[in-house]
Amino acid sequence: MSIFIDQKTNVCVQGITGSEGSFWTKHMMDLGTHVVCGATPGKEGQLVEGVPVYHSVKNAMKHHKIDATMLFVPPKMTKDAVFEALDAGIKKIVTIADGIPLHEMMDIRVRALEEKAFVVGGNTSGVISPKEAMMGSFPHWIERVYKKGSVGVMTRSGSLTNEVTAMIVEAGYGVSSLIGVGGDPVPGARFAEFLPLFEADPETNAVVIIGELGGTMEEEVAEAMMNGTFTKPLVAFLGGRTAPKGQKMGHAGAIITGGKGSVQHKIEVLEKAGAKVADRPRKVGKLLEELGVIKK
Amino acid sequence: MKLYEYQAKTVFSEHQIPTPKRILIEREDTSIHFEEVGYPCVVKAQVLSGGRGKRGLIQVVHNEKDANLQIKRLFEIEPSMKHLLIEEAIHIDKEIYVSITVDAPSGKAVLIASESGGVEIENLAVEHPELILKEEIDLSYGLMPHQARHIAYQMNLSTNQTKAMIQILMNLYQVFIKYDAELVEINPLFATKEDTLVAGDGKIMIDDNSMFRQPRFAQQEADYSSEAAYEASVEGIPFIQFDGDIGLMCAGAGLTTTVYDLIHYEGGTVANYLEFGGPNYKKAVKAMEICLKVPSKVILIVTFGTIARADVMAEGIVEAISKLKPDRPIVTCIRGTNEAHAVELLRKAGLTPLFDTEEAVRTAVRLAKGETL
C-alpha cells in the first residue's frame, strides 16, 4: 500500500516530449508507474516510450482514464498547465518546476482549494512510493535512499531529503510513501493535508517530516496531532537552527517574519503535540526507535 | 529582492501615494540643495537591514553644518552604502502601519493595518493582536474598495485623512500586483498635523521568481557588497558571505542550511553559503571560482543530488580543481545519482572523497582549525 499513487493510478505526463519529460517518463515506467498518455501542444500522434501523445489534456481524456497528471513544464507555463489539468477535472497534479512566479502560485493554490485537488509542488522532486510508482524525478534505483518500508516522509527539500532518508534506511527502516511539497513560499499542497492519507494507510507506521525555518507548515502538523487528526508517531528534522535571523538562507520560504516560523517555535509546538524533533539527520532513525516504531 | 527605501518611495510617488519631499545623494556629492527640504530635515541611511532608527542610522538635523557632519559619519560607518536620503521633517500626529503580503495557507493576499504603527509593531502583534486589522484579498478580484473603506474607517482619522487612506490602500495594492511583490509595507504611515497622510518609510520585496519580468530593478554590480556576490548573482547562484573559516559549496537549499547548522554544532564557522544545486549543478567551476574569492581556510562540498547527478558534479569539481588550482584544502562528500562513478572520478583526481555528511563536516572543521588529519 501507499498513499497518493500506486501501480493502478493512471498517469498523464504534460510536457512528455521534452528532454526531462521523456527521460523521467521512462524511469517512472521502469519503477512500475502506469503512464497512460502524454500531452504536449502540437505533438499529437507521437509516441514517447510507447505512450501516445495528445495536443491537450482534454484530448487525451477522450481516449484514456486519467487519475493524476505529472507536469514537466517550465515555471513560466506552469499556471496554465495546472489550470488545464484542473479544468479537465484531474484532482492529483504534481509539478516539479523551480521558479514559478509567486502570484501565479497563489492563483494555483486558491484554485486547488476550490477544486478540492492536490497540486504537489512546485520546486520539488515529486511523489514516490518505493518499489511501486512515482510521479517526479527520483533515482528510485538507489537502494540506500529509496528502500520500501513503513515510514512516510514529507519534505520541503530535495537533496536534504536524500540525506535524511538515507539515515532512515541506515537505521533499519524503509519508506512507504514520500511526498515532496516543495521549497517555495506558497506550495500547492501543504504537509497537514497529507496526514489523513498517512493516518489511513495501514502500511505507514510513522511519519517523518523534513522541514525548515519559515512558514507555518510544521505548526499545522502539530495542530493536526493536537486535535487527533493524526495519531501515529511523528519525527521532525528541522534545518536552519543556526541561520542568522532576517537573512534569506535556504528556500524562498525560509525566512523568519515575526516570532512565528522560527525553528524554536516549530520545535516547541511539535514537541508539545508529542512529536520528536531531531537536530541532525542521523538522529531521525534513533528517534523513530525511541517512539517504538517497528523496523520495517 | 528587497528594494531600498528611496526606490520604494519613487514607486509610491508614481502611484500617488504621498511621500515626503526628499533629495537622494551619493557618496561623492558635494553641493547638496538642502533648501529643497528645509530644516529641520532627516538624514536616512539607505541600507537594506532593519532597525535603522535603533542603530543610529536615521538622524534629525537642524542646520547645514550638522547635516554635513551626519552625512560624513553615516557614509563612514556604512562603507558599502551608496546612497543617503534627506527628507523634510514631518509634523507627526500619529503613526499608522499598513502592509500587503502573502498568506500561504489560503493562497490569498492579506492587507494588514494598525493605527498603532511604528517600530514596535512586531511586539504589538504578539501582545495585542486585536489591534491588528486584516482583510483577505483574492487576487482574481483584487482589493475591493469596501475592504479599503472598512480598514480606513477603523483608523480613527479625520474625514480628509480617511479619504486619503482609502486611496493609499487601493494604490498600494496596485504596487503589490505590478511589482510581483511578496511584501509592500508603509511603516510608519504618518498622519500629520496638517491633516494629511505621508509615507514615512517604504518597503517593497519583489518575488525572486518574478525578476525576469521586473527588469526595472535588475541589480547592478554597484549594488553588491563584493565581487563574489555580484558574480554569484549574475550566474543565479544563491550566495551569502559571512566572516568565518569554511567556504560552503553545496547543492540544495535545505542540505546547505543543514550543513551550516552542523558546522556550528561542531564549533566551526562559515565563510560563505553557496548553493550550486538545481539548475546550477553543471556550474562547479564557476561556483569554486566564487568560493576562492572569499577568504576561507577550507572549502567543503556536500551534495546528494538526483537530477543534479553526482557524476556530473564530480566531473565539474575535478575540472575546477585542475583549472583553478585552489590554494586551500577541499573536502568532498558527493552522493546521489551515479555516485560510484563520482567517487572514482574524485579519487583519480587525487581527492579523498567522503561519504558521510557529519564526517565531512568534522573533517572541514578540523582542517579549518589547522589540525592535521
Which residues 29-68 of A are in CB contact (within 8 Å) with B? none
Mean pLDDT by groups of 10 residues along chain A of 296 residues:
91 96 96 98 97 98 98 97 98 96 98 98 95 94 92 94 95 97 95 98 97 91 98 96 73 52 90 97 96 92
Model confidence band, residue B260 (pLDDT cutoffs 50, 70, 90): very high
Domain identity same for B112 and B190: yes
**Contact: A110, B108; criterion CB under 8 Å:** yes
Cα gap B58→B67, rounded to integer Å: 11
Residues of B within 8 A of A159 (CB-CB) are 250-252, 254-255, 277, 303-306, 308, 336
**Contact: B252, A160; criterion CB under 8 Å:** yes
Q: Per-domain residue ranges for chain A?
A: 1-123, 142-296
pLDDT, mean of residues B60-74: 96
User: Could you tell me the fold of the domain covering A142-296?
Assistant: Rossmann fold (3.40.50)
Cα gap A147→A129, rounded to integer Å: 9
Model confidence band, residue B126 (pLDDT cutoffs 50, 70, 90): confident
Domain identity same for B134 and B29: no
Domain identity same for B105 and B50: no
Closest-CA residue of chain B to A110: B107
pLDDT over 50 at B28, yes or no = yes
Domain identity same for B263 and B289: yes
Cα gap B23→B39, rounded to integer Å: 13
Domain that holds residue B282: 225-368
C-beta neighbour count of A184 within 10 angstroms: 26
Domain identity same for B79 and B66: yes
Closest-CA residue of chain A to B340: A142
**Contact: A281, B104; criterion CB under 8 Å:** no
Domain identity same for B82 and B97: no
Domain identity same for B84 and B136: no
- What confidence score (pLDDT) does residue B276 get? 92
State which of B216, B246, B261 marks the end of a domain: B216
Would you call A63 a catalytic residue per the annotation? no
Task: Report if residue B281 sits inside a domain.
Answer: yes
State which of B70, B88, B106 marks the end of a domain: B88
Q: What is the CATH number of the domain that holds B209?
A: 3.30.470.20
Domain identity same for B43 and B161: no
Task: Report if residue B75 sits inside a domain.
Answer: yes
Domain identity same for B140 and B46: no
Domain identity same for B230 and B354: yes
Cα gap B153→B147, rounded to integer Å: 10
**Contact: A109, B107; criterion CB under 8 Å:** yes
Minimum-distance CB partner of A158 among B140, B252, B260: B252
CATH number of A1-123: 3.40.50.720
Cα gap B89→B71, rounded to integer Å: 16
In chain B, what is the greatest distance between 2 CA atoms, to the nearest angstrom?
Answer: 78
Model confidence band, residue B208 (pLDDT cutoffs 50, 70, 90): confident
Domain identity same for B117 and B205: yes
* Overall number of domains in chain B: 3
Min CA distance, B42 vs chain A (Å)? 26
Which residues 152-211 of A are in CB contact (within 8 Å) with B? 155-163, 166, 183-187, 190, 210
- What confidence score (pLDDT) does residue A255 get? 46
Segment of A94-103, B47-56, B126-135, B304-313 carrying the highest mean pLDDT: A94-103
- What confidence score (pLDDT) does residue A190 get? 98
Q: Does the model's ipTM exceed the 0.95 cut? A: no
Closest-CA residue of chain A to B355: A163
Task: Report if residue B14 sits inside a domain.
Answer: no
Q: What is the CATH number of the domain that holds B231?
A: 3.40.50.261
Domain identity same for B212 and B258: no
Cα of B284 vs its chain's centroid, Å: 25
Q: What is the mean pLDDT of chain B?
A: 93
Minimum-distance CB partner of A163 among B108, B273, B357: B357
pLDDT, mean of residues B126-133: 87
Residues of A within 8 A of B49 (CB-CB) are 246
A1-123 and A142-296 in the same fold: yes
Task: Report if residue B2 sits inside a domain.
Answer: no
Model confidence band, residue B268 (pLDDT cutoffs 50, 70, 90): very high
Min CA distance, B17 vs chain A (Å)? 23
> Apex CA B239: angle with CA B184 and CA A139, to 5°?
105
